Amino acid sequence: MAEGRGLAGSGLFRALGRARQSLSHVGAALEGLAAAALMTASMYLIERQPGVGTAGPDLSWHGDARNRSLVEFGLDLGVVGMVGFLWFMAVIRRRLAEREDQFYATVFLGSGLVFAILATTAAVCAAAPTLVVQFGGEESLSDSTVALAHGLWHGLRGIGASRFAGVFMAATSNLGLRFGALPRWLALVGFVLGVLLVITGAFAGPLDFLFPAWLALVSITLLFSRRDRSARAEG
């Protein structure tokens, strides 16, 4: 009798453990999707500023309160997106647990943290002309102020953050391939794109959205691969 209760208890613990792992897996996928969506929306709104996403500065653009509000909203979305990205990394690390390779885990965590810091700083720099008008009491801007802000945006994001994003993509793809979390084709594509980003730092134009697109694809793959495994187990 006691033995039967013990077996039932151990079965319950195993079921709870599987449920926890499933929720963890789904949580990582959803956080990754949320982070990708928020990063994309943030970059779109920030790059609407003249001189960032357009050919030249239009100093009168920053005088419109609606334009300034959209840029501030874009900054808010970007920060929340980075929080989601950090949560995504935390859940992935917990999933690896004791199987985690210390070398790749360090590269994975370090590159992700540096990318989040550089990308957030770059967004603030790009929005500096808007913030100067909104909070600095300036009614007009000079060309040099706009040029400096956008030069910092390009340097921090296009030269710095893009390369750490590439390192993160390559490390994540390697871990996903080693532990069978990602399909082989996706891991290889992510690794190649990551290496190319490290070499070229090519965050420009449509390639600005390369990292969020890859993150969304990885998150969708994690979500549906988990569902497929659950369906096979139930079958």
Domain assignment of residue 224, given as a range: 2-234
Q: Is the pLDDT of residue 102 over 80?
A: no
Q: What is the mean pLDDT of the chain?
A: 78
Q: What is the pLDDT of residue 100?
A: 64
Contact 42, 77 (CB under 8 A): yes
> What residue spans of the chain are helical by DSSP H?
2-46, 65-96, 102-126, 128-135, 143-153, 162-178, 184-200, 210-234
Summarize pLDDT for 133-147 with one digit per residue, the tens.
877 766 667 778 788
Number of domains making up the chain: 1
Q: What is the pLDDT of residues 30-39, one digit of tens each?
A: 888 999 999 9
Q: What digits encode the pLDDT tens for the residues 117-131?
A: 999 999 999 888 888
